[in-house]
């Protein structure tokens, strides 16, 4: 573990720092040689899809593409460490619960199915069939299937997700909260009514043709490092790269490609952003409005700025938008965005000067109250100059988990479209439940209120990833049964229901042997490319089952003879599952054949063809006035003489969501620690405090409940005044369950109103 220090990071993103970090990651998992072999198979035609992120693979058919954080994700799964029955024999669950998130996962791969024994407060090994019988008994005893909740995290393959949604709907509920509810839900909610698809419209080749790439609220250097390759090439051929971020992120500034021998030998690097707008947290809606206001003014002046043909032929709502933009005052736009009028105008001039524009966005956009409105404004901006559905242009919500998009495509959705349910009924002959199920936040409330009794998770770490941590824990503990299909020990296993099971599964790097031979699974990336993933390592333990096998055997145990599906036969050969997928989803016609081609195939995206499957058959401009109830607005108020700050929660360079790989955040200059709060030096002074002082954070919320996180160190940082940044998941106790995005239900974990109070060092 590295020594605690805060030190400005001089290097570029990537480069020698990345190679060094990879070496350490492999050593930490005791896998120098095997790890290297595993890595070279990531994203290869005959290898596995990197479980790191959902960025597509340029080299799916050729050479290995180096990615530091992809290596860490693979190493975490391919670790030589094991969390077997001996570990659970040594520790009571209460003891395990006192360990850190880092420690829990660091024990290594789970090897046996385990059942919680209340008498000894320990997890004991259990036979698979006995585990399935326990779950089936609980599910079948429920008076209403809606008392069961089925969570999904976005690593689940298409095959696992398809079987899962089929089983759960045949069982009788649409209770499918998933990680997407906390992630890109607002992107779908915004774009579906607006342009008819809830997914990105661009392909990788569009990055080779764009003249300008706008990046809102996304940190690719850490979270999608392979995207830096595209950005670097774009920069080299003269494209403008325009970043909007309250923090100056190193990966958005400079990058050295570890595979570029010259750059490495000369310690060189390539700049990434040509322009960097350090707006205020939550200021994007106002900033984009300001840009559009300038575009309209320029149109008024010269008459050739808008794509009039596109607007007339393809869209509706332009006049209402133009009207609303003209009404907005620059003063309000400046106050809310934290950018000056001149900055917004210059960003808009880059937009106008580019023939083809791509807009990318991440969690800095989606995890706000007004995220849906903000995304619709970004799409409006694109459409003003026809930047949708033509080469080099379009919308690019950059997804998180490697198959989160595919899971939704397969029907993991608490609000299923009627067409999907009709199709399931037609193909399988059972009556699927019609009422919507619960999303992530609603699921927590249902468990807390005693309305749900069984919680089943296909992957993820519900107890740590969700908001209002202690409320969530109470909710999970109130359940009669909690079950986790998982690879590593995590918080969700030690904050459990009255009965609890841990079901260890194969990871994507591992060989999946079924009755019909070795199986591959399919995944869909952020650009709707579907391809196959084949594991190459021997399983971490002989007792692991694949996720599809777990779902199939559970379905068989629960539904028995009353099921219309031959679960056990399907899971013997995943090609049969893909045949079923094809029956339900017409876009997957000839699925097995098309996915056999290296690189796979792209799902149809109507918006990218300028076909608008919306209510009125057009793409719509949507107008949203700049809201005046944002946290940054509130932050200018004072609560009992304390300054209210807006806190954003984000990922360090050494973590994968709730999985903490290490204590460093190299690019932000933080080493050996995670309990830090980034704050402007003037704000530290205004508080009468000093850089390095310890503080407690308290949420300002109006439900009378105290929410706090204690023991964080102030770190002076280049961040707008009034804004703070700290790491997730440590800060999740601060996010109120009721603070969600309008029309999407996403926790607003990028804009928490908080006050700071003197505190003590955390241990």
Ligand X SMILES: Nc1nc2c(c(=O)[nH]1)N[C@H]1C(S)=C(S)[C@@H](COP(=O)(O)OP(=O)(O)OC[C@H]3O[C@@H](n4cnc5c(=O)[nH]c(N)nc54)[C@H](O)[C@@H]3O)O[C@H]1N2
Report if residue 244 touches ligand X, rule: CB under 6 A.
yes
**Which residues 6+ apart lie within 8 Å of 620 measured at CB?**
193, 194, 195, 315, 316, 317, 614
Among 196, 218, 247, 198, CA closest to 366 = 218
Residues in the chain, overall count? 763
Closer residue to Mo ion, CB minimum distance, 324 or 490: 490
Judged on CB neighbours under 10 Å (0-12, 13-18, 19+), 610 is: middle
Phi, psi of 363 (to 5 degrees): -65, -20
Nearest Cα to 231, choosing from 254, 202, 200? 254
Positions in 342-371 near ligand X (CB under 6 A) = 362-364, 367
Cα separation, 652 vs 662, whole angstroms: 9
- Nearest distance, CB of residue 670 and ligand X, angstroms: 14
CA dist., res. 455 & res. 497, Å (int): 8
Residue 216 binding ligand X, by CB under 6 A: yes
Taking CB under 6 A as the rule, does residue 551 contact ligand X? Answer: no
Q: Which does 207 bind (CB under 5 to 8 A by kind): Mo ion, ligand X, none?
A: none
Separation of alpha carbons 41 and 128, rounded Å? 31
SS3 151: strand
Stretch that binds ligand X, among 228-236, 261-269, 279-287, 300-308 (CB under 6 A): 279-287
> What percent of the residues of the chain are helix, what percent strand, and what percent coil, each to the nearest 5?
40, 20, 40
Rounded-to-integer distance, Cα 156 and Cα 361, Å? 23
Is residue 660 within the footprint of ligand X (CB under 6 A)? no
Among 22, 83, 183, 577, binds ligand X (CB under 6 A): 183
> Do residues 521 and 128 lie in contact, with contact meaning Cβ atoms separated by under 8 Å?
no
Q: Does 401 bind ligand X (CB under 6 A)?
A: yes
Tell me if 247 contacts ligand X by CB under 6 A: yes
Beta strands in 153-219 (DSSP E): 212-216
> What secondary structure letter does DSSP report for 410?
T
Residue 361 CB-half CA count within 13 A: 33
x/- string (CB under 5 A) for Mo ion, residues 398-437?
--x-------------------------------------
In angstroms, give the least distance from the CB of 262 to ligand X.
27
Among 146, 245, 343, 472, binds ligand X (CB under 6 A): 245
Q: How far apart are CA 452 and CA 149, in angstroms?
A: 7
By CB under 6 A, name the one of 728, 733, 753, 755 that touches ligand X.
Answer: 728
Residue 661 to residue 222: CA distance in whole angstroms: 13
158 binds, among Mo ion, ligand X, none (CB under 5 to 8 A by kind): none
Contact region with ligand X (CB under 6 A), list: 216-224, 445-453, 582-590, 699-707: 216-224
655 near ligand X, judged by CB under 6 A:
yes
Q: Around Cβ 689, how many Cβ atoms within 10 Å? A: 16
How many other CB atoms are there within 10 angstroms of residue 504's CB atom? 26
Among 211, 263, 284, 289, binds ligand X (CB under 6 A): 284
**423 within 8 A of 72, measured Cβ to Cβ:** no
Token look-up 């300054």 returns: 643
| Distance (Å, whole) CA 680 – CA 645 | 11
Contact region for ligand X (CB under 6 A) — 324-332, 586-594, 635-643, 644-652?
A: 644-652
**Within 101-140, which residues bind ligand X (CB under 6 A)?**
105
Please give the residues from 499 up to 528 whose contact with ligand X meets the rule CB under 6 A.
505, 507-508
For position 249 contacting ligand X by CB under 6 A, the verdict is: yes
Regarding 153 and contact with ligand X (CB under 6 A), the answer is: yes
Smallest separation, CB 182 to ligand X (Å): 4
List 488, 496, 675, 698, residue binding ligand X (CB under 6 A): 488
Nearer to ligand X, 195 or 458 (CB): 458
Q: What is the CA radius of gyration of the chain?
A: 25
Establish if 475 lies at the interface with Mo ion (CB under 5 A): no
Per CB under 5 A, 53 contacts Mo ion: no
Handedness of CA 205, 211, 213, 214 (dihedral sign): negative
Interface residue with Mo ion among 76, 183, 465, 559 (CB under 5 A) is 183
**Is 749 an interacting residue with respect to ligand X (CB under 6 A)?**
yes
Residue 282 interacting with ligand X (CB under 6 A): yes
> Given the complex with Mo ion, which of 183 and 715 has the nearer CB atom?
183
Residues 34-63 touching ligand X, rule: CB under 6 A, are 52-53
Q: Of the ranges 86-94, 256-264, 394-402, 708-716, which one interacts with Mo ion (CB under 5 A)?
A: 394-402
Q: Which residues are within 8 A (CB) of 565 and not within 5 positions of it... i.e. 6 or more apart?
A: 166, 167, 170, 428, 555, 559
Contact window for ligand X (CB under 6 A) among 417-425, 461-469, 637-645, 755-763: 461-469
Which residues sit at the interface with Mo ion, rule CB under 5 A? 183, 400
Which residues sit at the interface with ligand X, rule CB under 6 A? 52-53, 69, 105, 153, 155, 179, 182-183, 216-219, 222-224, 244-247, 249, 279, 281-282, 284, 362-364, 367, 400-401, 458-462, 465, 485-488, 490, 505, 507-508, 547, 648-651, 655-659, 728, 731-732, 735, 749-750
């Amino acid at each position: 573990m590295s020594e605690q220090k805060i030190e400005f990071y001089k290097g570029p993103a990537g480069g020698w720092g990345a190679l060094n970090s990879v070496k350490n990651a492999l050593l930490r998992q005791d896998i120098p040689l095997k790890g290297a072999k595993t890595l070279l198979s990531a994203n290869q035609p005959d290898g596995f899809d990197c479980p790191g992120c959902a960025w597509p693979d340029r080299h799916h058919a050729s050479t290995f593409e180096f990615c530091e954080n992809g290596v860490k994700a693979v190493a975490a799964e391919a670790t030589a460490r094991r969390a077997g029955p001996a570990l659970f024999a040594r520790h009571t669950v209460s003891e395990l619960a006192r360990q850190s998130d880092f420690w829990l996962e660091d024990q290594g791969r789970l090897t046996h199915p385990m059942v919680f024994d209340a008498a000894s407060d320990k997890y004991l090994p259990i036979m698979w069939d006995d585990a399935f019988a326990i779950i089936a008994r609980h599910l079948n005893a429920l008076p209403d299937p809606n008392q069961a909740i089925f969570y999904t995290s976005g690593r689940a393959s298409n095959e696992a997700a398809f079987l899962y949604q089929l089983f759960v709907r045949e069982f009788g509920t649409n209770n499918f909260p998933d990680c997407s509810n906390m992630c890109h839900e607002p992107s779908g909610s915004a774009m579906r009514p607006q342009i008819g698809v809830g997914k990105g419209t661009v392909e990788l080749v569009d990055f080779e043709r764009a003249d300008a790439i706008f990046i809102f609220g996304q940190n690719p250097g850490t979270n999608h490092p392979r995207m830096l390759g595209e950005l670097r090439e774009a920069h080299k051929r003269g494209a403008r790269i325009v970043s909007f971020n309250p923090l100056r992120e190193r990966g958005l500034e400079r990058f050295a490609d570890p595979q570029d021998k010259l750059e490495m030998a000369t310690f060189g690097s390539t700049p990434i952003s040509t322009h960097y707008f350090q707006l205020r947290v939550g200021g994007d809606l106002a900033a984009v409005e300001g840009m559009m206001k300038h575009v309209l003014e320029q149109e008024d002046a010269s008459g050739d700025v808008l794509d009039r043909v596109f607007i007339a032929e393809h869209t509706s709502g332009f006049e209402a938008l133009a009207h609303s933009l003209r009404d907005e005052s620059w003063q309000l736009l400046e106050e809310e965005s934290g950018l000056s009028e001149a900055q917004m105008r210059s960003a808009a001039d880059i937009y106008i000067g580019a023939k083809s524009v791509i807009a990318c966005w991440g969690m800095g956009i989606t995890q706000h109250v007004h995220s849906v409105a903000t995304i619709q404004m970004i799409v409006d901006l694109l459409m003003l100059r026809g930047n949708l559905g033509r080469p080099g242009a379009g919308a690019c919500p950059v997804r998180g988990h490697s198959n989160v998009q595919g899971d939704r495509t397969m029907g993991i959705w608490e609000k299923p479209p009627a067409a999907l349910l009709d199709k399931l009924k037609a193909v399988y002959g059972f009556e699927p439940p019609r009422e919507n199920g619960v999303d992530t936040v609603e699921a927590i409330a249902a468990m807390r209120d005693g309305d749900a009794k069984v919680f089943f998770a296909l992957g993820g770490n519900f107890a740590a990833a969700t908001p209002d941590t202690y409320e969530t824990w109470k909710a999970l503990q109130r359940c009669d049964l909690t079950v986790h299909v998982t690879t590593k020990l995590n918080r969700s296993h030690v904050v459990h229901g009255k009965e609890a099971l841990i079901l260890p599964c194969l990871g994507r790097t591992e060989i999946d042997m079924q009755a019909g031979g070795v199986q591959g699974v399919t995944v869909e990336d952020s650009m709707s490319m579907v391809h196959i993933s084949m594991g190459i390592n021997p399983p971490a333990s002989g007792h692991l089952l694949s996720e599809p096998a777990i779902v199939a055997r559970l379905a068989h145990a629960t539904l028995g003879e009353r099921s219309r599906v031959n679960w056990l036969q399907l899971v013997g050969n995943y090609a049969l599952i893909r045949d079923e997928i094809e029956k339900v989803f017409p876009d997957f016609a000839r699925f097995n054949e098309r996915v056999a081609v290296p690189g796979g195939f792209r799902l149809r995206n109507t918006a990218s063809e300028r076909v608008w499957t919306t209510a009125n058959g057009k793409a719509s401009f949507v107008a949203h006035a700049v809201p005046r109830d944002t946290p940054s607005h509130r932050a200018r108020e004072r609560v009992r003489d304390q300054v209210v700050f807006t806190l954003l929660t984000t990922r360090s360079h050494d973590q994968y969501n709730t999985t903490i790989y290490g204590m460093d955040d190299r690019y932000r200059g933080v080493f050996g620690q995670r309990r830090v709060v980034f704050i402007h030096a003037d704000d530290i002074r205004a508080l009468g405090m000093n850089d390095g002082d310890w503080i407690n954070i308290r949420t300002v919320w109006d439900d009378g409940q105290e929410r706090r996180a204690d023991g964080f160190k102030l770190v002076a940082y280049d961040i707008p005044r009034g804004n703070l940044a700290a790491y997730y998941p440590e800060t999740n106790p601060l996010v109120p369950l009721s603070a969600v995005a309008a029309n999407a239900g996403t926790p607003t974990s990028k804009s928490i109103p908080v006050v700071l109070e003197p505190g003590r060092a955390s241990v």
